[in-house]
């Protein structure tokens, strides 16, 4: 593998930065978003592109306006919603989702100075998670590491590491719609939403799982390969479940039948109770490939980028 140099450019307004390689803007990180409160404002990575410039993300799709590329979220946090949209409540009319004034937000505090390495770029960020009652519940330290850009192989990677410390006076109950009564809806944590064109795209996962059968499994990785609109060809997004400091195992919320998404959920079907002063550590990796691959080709790639 021959690494390609990565570059980072901050905008003058102090709201976002762009990471580029070989003349292509790979990822824009919006850390001071102009987001409506009902979408639970939080930093996000969008646009996301392969090394050839092909899109591998979506922003505010009509079905879920709070989905924005790749973002760290939490759907059920001690009664508050840091995910966006309505909140699932067991027994509520219809599908159980209710609009409430319970939206939290993530607020950027600062970046720690980092020296660019050339073949990789890292950003360390501190954030406050502020509840709907305007209290700081979580002090987060987040690291984004952009690396392994290789124009010959058409690949680049992003490591997402976070430390979530409970600074609230009470334990934080960190769950999902499934922990609140909706089967198979364990989405929470780091969530990637794919392009609309990838609806129905092929899902391949560790352990031989494929398609919708990946949902709820606990393998090391999962991937989606899809074709582009407008552009010829396709791409693959490979995600690694990574590690968690909680006793609750990381579990895949992954699908493409309704829309393409990959989410190594830290609280798929079991709630995490984070005591005051304690920290939840999570590490994940996403790899973006400039071509569609089948399981035969993906298996050695998954081993090469394994965490």
Mean pLDDT of 292-305: 97
| pLDDT over 80 (residue 114) | no
CA distances from 141 to 117, 187, 259, 282 (A): 21, 22, 30, 11
For tokens 């330290």, the residue is 141
Return the minimum-mean-pLDDT range out of 82-96, 123-137, 141-155, 179-193: 82-96
Structural domain includes residue 226:
yes
Please write the tens of the pLDDT for every residue from 67-94: 999 999 999 999 999 999 999 999 888 7
Examine the pLDDT at 179 and tell me if it is beyond 90. yes
Is 166 part of any domain? yes
Residue 136 has pLDDT above 60, yes or no: yes
Contact 290, 301 (CB under 8 A): no
Q: How far apart are CA 87 and CA 66, in angstroms?
A: 12
Arithmetic mean of pLDDT, 166-187:
97
Number of domains in the chain: 1
pLDDT over 90 (residue 116): no
Give the Cα separation of 116 and 239 in Å (integer). 25
The answer to whether residue 271 is domain-embedded is yes
Q: What is the mean pLDDT of the chain?
A: 96
Q: Can you give the CATH number for the domain in which 84 is found? A: 2.70.98
- 119 Cβ neighbours under 8 A, 6+ residues apart: 3, 4, 5, 6, 147, 149
pTM: 0.97
Q: Once rounded to an integer, what is the mean pLDDT over residues 136-160?
A: 97
Residue 185 sits in which domain range?
6-305
pLDDT tens digits, 235-287: 999 999 999 999 999 999 999 999 999 999 999 999 999 999 999 999 999 99
pLDDT at 225: 98
Indicate whether 2 pLDDT > 60.
no
Asked if the structure places residue 1 within a domain, the reply is: no
pLDDT of residue 95: 83
Percent of the chain with pLDDT over 90: 95
């Amino acid at each position: 593998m021959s690494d390609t140099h990565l570059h980072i450019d901050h905008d003058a307004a102090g709201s976002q930065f762009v990471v580029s390689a070989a003349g292509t803007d790979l990822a824009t990180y919006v850390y001071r978003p102009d987001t409506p409160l009902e979408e639970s404002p939080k930093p996000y990575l969008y646009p996301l592109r392969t090394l050839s410039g092909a899109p591998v993300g979506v922003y505010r799709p009509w079905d879920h306006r709070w989905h924005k590329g790749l973002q760290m979220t939490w759907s059920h946090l001690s009664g508050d919603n840091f995910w966006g949209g309505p909140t699932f409540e067991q027994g509520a009319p219809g599908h159980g989702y209710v609009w409430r004034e319970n939206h939290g937000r993530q607020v950027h505090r600062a970046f720690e100075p980092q020296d660019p390495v050339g073949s990789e770029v890292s950003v360390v960020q501190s954030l406050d998670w502020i509840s709907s009652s305007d209290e700081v519940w979580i002090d987060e330290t987040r690291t984004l590491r952009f690396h392994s850009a290789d124009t010959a192989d058409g690949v680049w990677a992003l490591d997402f590491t976070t430390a979530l410390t409970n600074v609230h006076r009470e334990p934080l109950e960190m769950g999902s719609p499934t922990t609140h009564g909706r089967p198979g809806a364990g989405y929470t944590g780091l969530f990637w939403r794919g392009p609309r064109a990838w609806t129905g795209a092929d899902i391949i996962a560790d352990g031989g799982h494929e398609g919708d059968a990946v949902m709820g499994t606990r393998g090391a990785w999962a991937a989606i390969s899809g074709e582009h609109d407008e552009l010829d060809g396709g791409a693959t997004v490979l995600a690694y479940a990574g590690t968690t400091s909680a006793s609750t195992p990381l579990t895949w919320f992954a699908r493409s039948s309704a829309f393409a998404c990959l989410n190594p959920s830290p609280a798929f079907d079991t709630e995490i109770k984070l005591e005051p002063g304690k920290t939840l550590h999570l590490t994940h990796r996403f790899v973006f490939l400039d071509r569609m691959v089948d399981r035969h080709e993906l298996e050695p790639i998954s081993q090469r980028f394994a965490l």
